[in-house]
Structures are given as structure tokens and as C-alpha cells.
Structure 1
Amino acid sequence: MEVDPVPQDLCSATCSFAPLNLPTIDENLAIESKPPKQRIIELLDILESHVEKLRKDAVKLEDDRDALLASLDSVKNTDLLLELSENERDDVLHFADRIVNRCLTIDLKINTQRDQTQEEALHQINHLIDSLVVGMKTDPDVMQSKCISYLNSCSSHGQGVIDKNFESILLGCTIDDQKRVKKRLQGLNNYINKLNVTSDND
């Protein structure tokens, strides 16, 4: 089956890998109605918008990678593996590990600028979440309830029980960190739910 080629103008407008058409200043133009500073500021405004888009694209790629790793982990722990022979199971797990290792070669790092207060707030939030993970070994039901209250605190229109202390500390974090905290809590809650399903099936 032949595939129709994508029109060049459509591809450049929609494909994320299309080359950037970044603005430049032509210093050879002698006639320019705008003052030099205004021309430079306008150029910087446009470049800033490109930087913000690049950050958003990088965050999206980071989310896609994490989702892939989560899916691979699900495949490696699926009950279907119990229906395979030992050799077949080894083959499947080796294949999955190869994909995981390949995915881990994608190293994305997006730094967030924080002041001292925001650094301290993030440190406190991470300490509270780490305590959840540790507490799962001794009191999983209580920790899950606390995790849900933390998760509810991440939304301005959150429903259910809200942890006011967690919410207060979280508001001291940057917007980017607030999004990451919510994502981390969602992942932890999903993990806890998965453990509960496994326990119920035993």
C-alpha cells in the first residue's frame, strides 16, 4: 500500500521536528522606523516564547518516557507471564529489559529556578512524600489515606479530605514543582492501588 506524502507546508506547520524559523536582526538595514532597543526587545520576546515552548516540549517528552517505562513495568509483571514456559518467560523478560535499557538512554533534564524559600518548601514536601513511602511497609491503609489527602491538596478544586499543612507548604513551591509533586503522588497512589489489587487476588 502506497502512502501519500505529507504536504511540505502541512508538515512544517504541525510536525514537532520541523526546523525552527528563528527571527534575526538584519544590521545592514539602514532604514528602520523602530529604535534599536525596541527591535532587540521584540526579538527577545519572540525568542523567549520559543524557549518556553522548548521547555514544554521537553516536559512532554519526559512524561512520555515515564509513561513508556510504566507500561514496560506492567508488561514485566503481567499475570500472562505465568502462562508461559520458563524459556518463553526468560525470552519475553529479556526483550522487555532491552527496551527498558534503551528507554533509559533518553536523559532529559529540565532545571527549575528557585529562591531559598522555594528550595526549603520543596525539601519539606519531598520529606513528607518519602515518609509515605517508608510508612507503606508498616501501615499501608493509613499511608494511602494520607497520600490521597496530599493529592487532593494539589488541586484548587480538590474533592475529599485535604491536608492543610501539605497544601500550605506546596503553595510555597514553584508552579513546575507543584506539577511534579502532583504527578509523583498520582504515581504513588496508582502503585498502592496496584498492590491492593494484587493482595485481594492472593
Structure 2
Amino acid sequence: MDKTERDQTQHELETAANELFAGWIRRVELLQHDDAPWMEPGQLMPRLVFNDPADRVRDPHPDPRKMAKAARTFKLTVGPGLNQFRQDLLERWPEIRYIEVMHEDDNGQRTAGNVRFVEDGREAADGEYTHVMVRLKTPELDIVDTLIAAGIANNRAEAIRWALTRIRERPAYEELREHTRDIERLKSEF
């Protein structure tokens, strides 16, 4: 995606966020692989930076009940809009697979946040997949990206599935599974 397309996408995301989260959203940042290397090349991730709900409680020693109420208000106010925002992402930007939601206080300090998978709910053509998060070291990531560059896989998930399939095909793997079944059988006898 070139800079013009990226800027246009960011503008559209900002417009949507300002409409859905009026009074809560501070800004929208559009991240790509260079900003978050755990994402695959070509993927984008919007970061929604919200006002910290605690900032609405103007008390130097806030009551925990007021803090909890502020958090509930945020969830009730922003939750439906966030679901709509995620649905819009699925329909308009297939290259967006993740969304980061974070809170920032009045001093610009991050107070909370998480990255969420934008779940599309569609079943894969060859069955249902289970989403897993894996942490790879640089040499391992290079292997995965080499499989993509060689055309063996289209993305990192496919590359890892391809490698796991190769392991399953090895005779030693079946022996390992047999031993695992024996261990489970022995455990059940205790």
C-alpha cells in the first residue's frame, strides 16, 4: 500500500472512529508491519487511543466505586461502537486482521490496552481453524518468511501449518504419538 492509500485509509478510519466514539476517542493511528513486526507484511492494524475513563473522575483520591462506574460507562458507551467498527473493518479492509484498543490519560501516558483479533466468523474452506498466538525468534521468523517468499505459503499462518504438516508425515512422529498414548493409558491406571 502506498502512502496516499495509507493516508486515505487512516482518514476514513479516523472519521468512522470520531462518529462512533464521540467524546471518547483521542486519535487513531494506523500501524503496519514496520511499526509492529509481529504483523505480517502487507497487514495493517488500527490503534484506537481512547481517553482513560479514570480521567472523568476528577478526584485526587478517587473512590474505587467511582472508578468502576467510569469503567462501566466506558464499556457501555464504547462497546457497541467497537463492535460496529470491527464489522466495518471486516467488510472494507481485509488486510486489517488486528485492532489495538488503548487508553491514555490526560498526561499522554498509556494506562491500559490490548490487541484483538478481528474475527470474521467465516469457516475456512477446508475446515475450522483454531487461532493461536506464537512467539518466534528472528531466525525462526526468517524461515517462515522464506517459505512465503518461495511461494510455498501465502502468509505466516499457512507457512507454519505447512511445516507442521511435514512433521506429521515423518515416521518418528507416529512413534511419538504411540508413546504418548501409552503414557496416557498408564496414567489412567493409577
TM-score by length of 1: 0.26
Structure having the larger proportion of residues in strand: 2
* Richer in helix (by share): 1
Q: TM-score, normalised by structure 2?
A: 0.27
